[in-house]
Amino acid sequence: MKKRRNVRRKNKRMRWGLFFLGLAVLAAVVWKIQFSRQPPYAYDAYIERYAAKNKLDQALVAAVIYQESRYREKAESAKGAQGLMQIMPDTAKWIGEHLKIPYSKERVMDPETNIRMGTWYLRTLLDQYQEDEMLALAAYNAGPGNVDEWLKDPRWTRGGRLNKIPFAETEKYVESVMRMKEVYRKMYQERLPKKKS
């Protein structure tokens, strides 16, 4: 009788031990899955430097890089866009003239140069569209010429504001970047400066 009681106690302790071990393993697995789902935040020194220089939100820059290249520095699109921020060669040449950076594909593929050029271009678009992030991102993706045309077309505007992006790809791009901007802000709160109210 006493032996049976001791065996039951041991079994009960063993079950509790296994239960807590299982919880610990489950917590470790959940943590690993959550950690592995976090978007990357590489090249943070360049992002911080050039976002500050161009008065941009670091979370916005990180989100654009994520959406454009998933942080692959040698990314090249079928249309010819190059590097982390996927800058088209003609746009890179134009930016290079303003920043005194002679164009070469190798230079544009360099992470620091690409972020420097991409953030300058994003700032230029924000200035052009009076700090309207949606319009600036649409122009980054589809070109400012298209955005200017949409703003003149009453099918896409209401009260002088763009209420519908006619290119499905650009609409999805803008939504994705804005969503990723908030993801970056939440995931990297300690690393990113606080959002201005």
Write out the catalytic residue numbers: 68
Residue at token pair 């955005």: 147
CA pair distance 192, 136, nearest whole angstrom: 21
CA pair distance 14, 91, nearest whole angstrom: 67
CA pair distance 55, 25, nearest whole angstrom: 44
Residue at token pair 């504001």: 161
Strand-pair category, 157-158 with 161-162: antiparallel
